[in-house]
Amino acid sequence: MKSVKVYGPGCKRCETTEAMVKDAAARLGIDVVVEKVTDPKSIAMAGVMSTPGISVDGKLVHAGGLPDAVRLEGWLSA
Amino acid sequence: MTIEAQDAAPRHNPSDWLWYAGISAAAVVWWLVYSQLIPFSESVTSLLPVARDSHTGEAIAFFVYDVPKVLLLLTGIVFVTGVLRSWFSPEKTRAILAGKREILGYPLAAALGVLTPFCSCSSVPLFIGFVSAGIPLGVTFSFLIAGPMVGPVGLGLLYGLVGWQIATIYLVFGFTISTVAGLVLGRLGLERYLQDWVRELNAGPVGDMPEERLTLVGRLKIGVEQVREIVGKVWIWVLVGIGIGAAIHGYVPETVMLRIMGGEAWWSVPAAVVVGVPMYTNAAGVIPIVEALLGKGAALGTTLAFMMSVIALSLPEMIILKQVLTLRLIAIFIAVVSLGILATGFLFNALL
């Protein structure tokens, strides 16, 4: 079970990112819990400056813009 | 030679060449369409049952010419900017600014504000990221003012619709206001007016993210993605702005324009700022209005003041910043930037 966090104040791209994470996990057959972090303080505390950002098991892997689908699978299966 | 070829070979898969070909073809089509705009708009206007030189005819011709022109320019600018900005990121900008002496920080922050990809929806995490890395508050403000104010979309449209002289003046003064307003705000010692929780975050966390390496095709994809997102979002503002511009162009008599926005009417500069600040649109929506105003003889200073206050200060962004700044600090911020805009407006009305 992997824990994935999507950081973003709730803009459209953040929602798209969340959907992409879920899709990628389903494709890979990995169990994930996706949590959306929308509170600006928590976003900043995670070290994310440009949203949407993604962390996998507490490790920040991406910030700023939609993730690349191939890379996303890489982060999830790592 | 052979070694280079072997090295280069695996980096280009066939779909890369499709991307290069597709982008090149799009650029050629773009250019062909752009060069045919005047005949196109004239023939469309002549199909309608109105006299070309009537008020309505003028307004329609303006609208029919400007809509494809602005949309084409917008698409081109957003694509090129999206590709160029893929070399910059808020994280890199922060690293550059954090190591600089304060006095160098202001102009550098203003310049990076133009180059760093950044959407107002993430201005809060960005603000905190900067301040917690020890970047002075004033320098952070320079960055936040320059971002929207001297954005490439505004500059590019100004260049395409009004001309390079005014685009250059706008660039120089927008940059100066961002630098000086940041400097003034920095000197005022405003740290105590941050929201409490922001002040308590000193030397906050820095995301230790591995840098994502992008291929050229990856950067082109970012450009296309930006076009889809930004043009998809702002086209409605573009139509509204051009509609207003067309109405001004067709129906407002020059004598009225001179009385309201002419160089003789000194009060028109503050009035333009007061009207402009609460107005919420983006550069793409306001520049067709600017085009029409200047065409009808509005003074350059007054028009610049209007445009700058619409683009640089927006109510929704202030509401977002309320999470990190107290109302008092927001008011000071608006006041300092407005003063800079007023000074620019008066200066140009006095000079020209």
Q: What is the pLDDT of residues B23-72, one digit of tens each?
A: 999 999 999 999 988 888 888 888 888 887 888 888 998 999 999 999 99
Q: What's the rounded Cα separation, in Å, for the pair B202 and A68? A: 33
Provide the pairing of β-strand A2-7 with A53-56. antiparallel
Asked if the Cβ–Cβ distance from B204 to A68 is below 8 Å, we say: no
List, in order, residues 6 or more apart from B213 with CB less than 8 Å away.
Answer: none
B13 backbone φψ class: left, alpha, beta (φ>0; ψ -120 to 50): beta
Asked if the Cβ–Cβ distance from B207 to A48 is below 8 Å, we say: yes
Radius of gyration of chain B (CA): 22
Asked if the Cβ–Cβ distance from B129 to A62 is below 8 Å, we say: no
pLDDT (tens digit, 9 = 90+) per residue, B320-341? 888 889 999 999 999 999 999 9
- What chain A holds in terms of domains, given with CATH numbers, is 2-77 (3.40.30.10)
**Residue among A8, A11, A60 minimizing CB distance to B207:** A60
**Residue among B205, B208, B323 minimizing CB distance to A40:** B323
Average model confidence (pLDDT) across chain B: 86
Distance from CA of A41 to the nearest CA of B (A): 7
Reported as a pLDDT band with limits 50, 70 and 90, residue B141 is very high
Provide the pairing of β-strand A59-63 with A53-56. antiparallel
Provide the pairing of β-strand A59-63 with A2-7. unpaired
Q: What's the rounded Cα separation, in Å, for the pair A6 and B105? A: 32
User: Is A39 annotated as catalytic?
Assistant: no
Q: Is pLDDT larger for residue A43 or for residue B167?
A: B167
Asked if the Cβ–Cβ distance from A50 to B205 is below 8 Å, we say: no
Q: Which of B329, B326, B341 is nearest to B185 (CA)?
A: B329
Q: In this predicted structure, which of A9-18, A26-35, B6-15, B156-165 has the lowest mean pLDDT?
A: B6-15
B10 has pLDDT over 80 = no
pLDDT (tens digit, 9 = 90+) per residue, A41-74? 788 778 788 888 898 888 888 887 788 888 888 8
B283 has pLDDT over 80 = yes
Q: Which of B312, B297, B303, B288 is nearest to B344 (CA)?
A: B303
User: Is A11 annotated as catalytic?
Assistant: yes
Q: Which of B166, B352, B173, B162 is nearest to B264 (CA)?
A: B352
B11 has pLDDT over 70 = no
B217 vs A: CB within 8 A: no
B212 vs A: CB within 8 A: yes
Options A4, A5, A6, A14, the catalytic residue: A14
CB atoms within 10 A of CB B92: 14
Alpha carbon A72 to chain centroid, angstroms = 9
Q: Which of B28, B26, B283 is nearest to B162 (CA)?
A: B283
List, in order, residues 6 or more apart from B178 with CB less than 8 Å away.
Answer: B109, B110, B113, B142, B145, B146, B149, B150
pLDDT (tens digit, 9 = 90+) per residue, B96-131? 888 788 888 999 999 998 888 777 767 888 888 888
Q: What's the rounded Cα separation, in Å, for the pair B110 and B112? A: 6
How many residues appear in chain A?
78
Q: What percent of chain B has pLDDT over 90?
A: 44
Which pLDDT does position B207 carry in this prediction? Answer: 53
Q: Which of B90, B115, B62 is nearest to B246 (CA)?
A: B62
Q: Which long-range contacts (CB under 8 A, 24 or more apart) does B233-236 make?
A: B234/B74, B234/B282, B234/B284, B234/B285, B235/B71
Q: What's the rounded Cα separation, in Å, for the pair B51 and B306? A: 33
Distance from CA of B101 to the nearest CA of A (A): 22
Please spell the DSSP secondary structure of A33-78, one letter per residue. Answer: EEEEE--HHHHHHTT--SSSEEEETTEEEEESSPPPHHHHHHHHH-
Q: What's the rounded Cα separation, in Å, for the pair B206 and B311? A: 31
List, in order, residues 6 or more apart from B71 with CB less than 8 Å away.
Answer: B231, B235, B238
Q: In this predicted structure, which of B6-15, B69-78, B334-343 has the lowest mean pLDDT?
A: B6-15
Which pLDDT does position B6 carry in this prediction? Answer: 39
Options A9, A11, A40, A65, the catalytic residue: A11
- Indicate the burial class of B334 (C-beta count within 10 angstroms; 0-12, 13-18, 19 or more): middle
pLDDT (tens digit, 9 = 90+) per residue, B144-165? 999 888 888 889 999 999 999 9
Asked if the Cβ–Cβ distance from B125 to A13 is below 8 Å, we say: no
Q: Which residues pair with B105 in a beta bridge?
A: none
> To 5 degrees, how large is the angle CA B276–CA B280–CA B286?
70
Pick the residue of A14, A50, A61, A75 with the most B CBs within 10 A to test the interface with B by mutation. A50
Question: 180-209 in B: which are within 8 Å (CB) of A?
Answer: 197, 201, 204-209
Q: What's the rounded Cα separation, in Å, for the pair B122 and B257? A: 39
Which pLDDT does position B307 carry in this prediction? Answer: 92
Asked if residue B222 lies in contact with residue B84, where contact means CB atoms within 8 angstroms, the answer is no
How large is the average pLDDT for residues B305-309?
92
Q: In this predicted structure, which of B3-17, B159-173, B284-298 has the lowest mean pLDDT?
A: B3-17
How many residues appear in chain B?
352
Torsion of CA B65, B67, B73, B77, to 10 degrees: 170
Asked if residue B262 lies in contact with residue B298, where contact means CB atoms within 8 angstroms, the answer is yes
B-chain CB neighbours of A20 within 8 Å are: none
Q: Give, in order, the Cα–Cα distances in Å from B58 to each of B161, B224, B285.
A: 17, 35, 20
Distance from CA of B206 to the nearest CA of A (A): 5
- Indicate the burial class of B63 (C-beta count within 10 angstroms; 0-12, 13-18, 19 or more): buried
Question: 257-276 in B: which are within 8 Å (CB) of A?
Answer: none
B245 has pLDDT over 60 = yes
pLDDT (tens digit, 9 = 90+) per residue, B200-220? 765 555 555 666 677 888 899
- Indicate the burial class of B269 (C-beta count within 10 angstroms; 0-12, 13-18, 19 or more): buried
Asked if the Cβ–Cβ distance from A47 to B205 is below 8 Å, we say: yes
